[in-house]
Amino acid sequence: MSDMVNMKRKSGSRPALERFVLDLKKYGLLGIILPIILLIPSLIIQLIWISYDKIVIKHGIDTSIGNGRLLDPKMFSSGERRIIKILEYVLDEPPLVRGVMWAFTIVVMLLVAYQIADMFKSFFGSNSALVLATPCSKPILLMSKFLAASVTSFIAIGCSEFQWVFLQGALKWDGSSLNLMSFRGLQGFESNWYIKFDLKWESTLYKFAMFLFIWLGIFTILAISGKLQKLVKTPVIVVTDIVLAFVLAWAFMYLMEMQSGVDVLPALFMIPCVLLLTDILLVSKYDAVTVSA
C-alpha cells in the first residue's frame, strides 16, 4: 500500500461520524421535519396562551391555585373575548387538535418502526456487507446508529410532548404552566364565567428515559440475536425478537401507566446504562449476516 493511500485512510471515528450524519438525514423527515411542522399549530396556540396570561395580569385576576372564581364577561374587550373563546375551543379538544395528536402518534410509530427495520437491515440484512465493511468497529458503528436514532426519536417525542404542553397553557421557564382546569362559562358569554386554575408540571425527562430504555432494549435484542445465530436458525431468532419486542413495548406501556412519578428517574437512567454496556460487549463479537448466510 502506498504511503499516500495510508495517509488518506480515515480513522475509526470519521466513518462513525459519517454514519451518524447519514442516519440523521435518513430519519430526519419522520424524526425532525414532520414533528416540527406538526408542532406549528400548537406553537400558535401557545402564543395565544401568552396573550391570555397578559389579559389575566391586565385585569388583576387572582390566579391562586385550586380556587374557582366567577368573572363578569363584560370586563373583557372583544379581542380578549376572542382569545378566550379560542382557548376554550382548544381545551375542548376539537377534532383538529385530536387529529394533530393522532398524526404525532403515527409519525412516532412510523419512525420507530423504520428505525428498527433499518437497524435490522444494517446489522443483519443483505446490505450489512456494505454497512459493516466500513473501517469502523461494530460497537462504535452501533453507537453512531443509536445516537442518530435517539436524537431523532427524542426530537419527535419531544415535539409531541411539547405540543400537548403548548395546548394546555402558557409555558413558564421552569417547565410549569398555568393550566385552566375549568373554563366554560356557566350560562354562555352573557353570564358569569367560572374559572379554576391549576399549576401543572410534567417531566418530559421521564418519557425520554423510558424511550432510552426501549431503544437500548431493542439493541440488546439485536445483539443477543447475533450471539444466538450460532445455536439456532434465523426464523427462530426472528420470532424471538418479535416476541421480545412486544414484551418490551408492553413493559414500557405498563411503566408509563403505573409509575408516573419522577422519583423513578435515576433507576430509569441506570437501566439504559446497563443495557448499553451489555450491547457494546455483545455486539463486538456477533455475526452480521443472517440473510443468505
Partner 1 sequence: MNDLVEIKDLKRSFAGKKALDGMSFSLGTGKVVGLLGANGAGKTTLFRVMTGLLTKDSGSVKIDGIAVGAKTNELISYVPDHFVFGGFRRISTAIMYMKRFFSDFDEKKAESLLSKLNFTPDQKIAALSKGQKAQVQLVLFMSRKAKLFLLDEPLAAVDPATREFIIKTILSTFGEDNTVLISTHVVMDIELILDEVVMIKDGKVHLQGETDELREKYGKTINEIFKDEFRFVEGGVDNE
**Contact in structure between 181 and 197 (CB atoms under 8 Å):** yes
| Of 51, 63, 134, 204, the one binding partner 1 by CB under 8 A | 134
Cell of 28: 430526519
Q: Rule CB under 8 A: say whether 128 interacts with partner 1.
A: yes
CA dist 24 and 35 (Å) reads 14
Nearest approach, Cβ of residue 7 and partner 1 (Å): 9
Choose, by CB under 8 A, the member of 52, 104, 219, 286 that binds partner 1: 286
Based on the number of CB atoms within 10 Å of its own CB, is 107 exposed (0-12), middle (13-18) or buried (19 or more)? buried
Q: Which is nearer to partner 1, 23 or 268 (CB)?
A: 23
CA neighbor of 63 nearest in space, from 73, 75, 72, 55: 55
**Contact present, 212 and 150 (Cβ < 8 Å):** yes
Site for partner 1 contains 186 (CB under 8 A) = no
Measured over all CA atoms, what is the biggest interatomic distance in the chain, rounded to whole angstroms?
88
3-state SS, residue 177 = strand
Q: Is 175 in the site for partner 1 (CB under 8 A)?
A: no
Pick the closer one to partner 1 by CB: 258 or 293. 293
Site string for partner 1, 229-258 (x = CB under 8 A): -xxxx-------------------------
Instruction: Extract the C-alpha cell encoding 218.
Output: 431493542
Residues that bind partner 1 (CB under 8 A): 1-2, 5, 8-10, 12, 15, 18-19, 22, 121, 126-130, 132-138, 140, 230-233, 285-289, 291-293
